[in-house]
Amino acid sequence: MNNVAILKAENLSKAFGGIKAVQNARIEVPTGSITGLIGPNGAGKTTFFNLLSNFLKPDLGTVQLMGVPIQGKPPHAIAQLGMVRTFQVPRVLSRLSVLENMLLAAQGQIGEKFWNAWFQATKIAEQERQNREKARHILESIGMIHMAGNYAGSLSGGQRKLLEIGRALMSDPKLILLDEPAAGVNPALIEEICGHIQQWNQSGLSFLIIEHNMDVIMSLCDRVWVLAEGRYLADGTPEEVCCNPQVLEAYLGSG
Ligand code: ATP
């Protein structure tokens, strides 16, 4: 981890009618870190993710990825710049196979125009071969290669989460935003997912993770940011944040 922020957002705000879901919130994710984002139910974490990844347009605020402003850019353009995300409820395509789900994530990389149609066809075939090889390699690394031909709809909730992370890896990201990777996942698979996250982090990938499971936050994260009622509340090491009286009060008050 170094001190340069791979992702930096300031003054992000979003209201839904009268509900101020996110108000002047900010975050900095150090390059190479595993950073956590926590807060009580309804604190605005998922809305904040949606604003960071431009799945929702902010009312106000700026987001920079590696120093480049990304607000207003569509999610596929943000993915090409190096940031991808997963969802609280995994968005896998149930009627496609696990491998097909992976290959779909690679589409969009074939966008270049070529004058020579034959050359283009050859190039696309080569790209497809490489994508297939990469998909199989990722599935192997997450222990899902034996399921490559299975319908994604036949996977358990935890396996879908893992597939979604695998799919995110298809675009060779620098930063992955994970929305509750442990929610609804059995303890053995949570441990497996955490192990993969640590391995990918050691090979240079940064993460921003929303998670309610504090064991996961404590074991994975270098730094943690806290949102409460849509606002920035605190940040620090997991230990600092967990014994911060304001944070404890926000959690107790929300119950
Ligand atoms: P949880 O931990 O329970 O998933 P969260 O911290 O992710 O919650 P959000 O889902 O971002 O919180 O919700 C923040 C607030 O914004 C809540 O009051 C929620 O009801 C509201 N909200 C979120 N999305 C919408 C929407 N599309 N329309 C209206 N209100 C919304």
pLDDT digit string (tens) for 108-162?
Answer: 443 334 445 555 666 667 788 889 999 999 999 999 999 999 999 999 999 999 9
DSSP state of 75: H
Clarify whether residues 116 and 142 are in a common domain.
yes
DSSP state of 211: -
Ligand 1 neighbours, Cβ below 6 Å, are 16, 19, 21, 39, 41-47
Residue 223 has pLDDT above 90, yes or no: yes
* Range 15-43 average pLDDT: 96
Tokens 């358990």, residue located: 156
Clarify whether residues 73 and 192 are in a common domain.
yes
Residue 161 lies in a domain: no
CA dihedral 183, 189, 191, 193 (to 10 degrees): -80
Q: Is the ipTM of this complex over 0.90?
A: yes
Pocket test for ligand 1, best of 12, 37, 47, 254 (most atoms within 8 A of CB): 47
Range of the domain at 139: 94-154
Clarify whether residues 87 and 14 are in a common domain.
yes
Report the atom number in ligand 1 closest to the C-alpha of 50: 11
* Structural domain count, the chain: 2
Residue 167 lies in a domain: no
Task: Write the pLDDT tens digit of every residue in 175-220.
Answer: 999 999 999 889 999 999 999 999 999 999 999 999 999 999 999 9
Go through 204-216 and write b for each residue having 16 or more CB atoms within 10 A of its CB, e for each that does not: ebbbbbbbebeeb
Pocket test for ligand 1, best of 13, 14, 16 (most atoms within 8 A of CB): 16
Tokens 């926590």, residue located: 38
Clarify whether residues 72 and 17 are in a common domain.
yes
Residue 64 bridge partners (DSSP): 8, 69
Residue 160 lies in a domain: no
Residue 255 lies in a domain: no
pLDDT category at 107 given cuts 50, 70, 90 is low
Q: Judging by beta carbons within 10 Å of its beta carbon (0-12, 13-18, 19+), is residue 69 exposed, middle or buried?
A: exposed
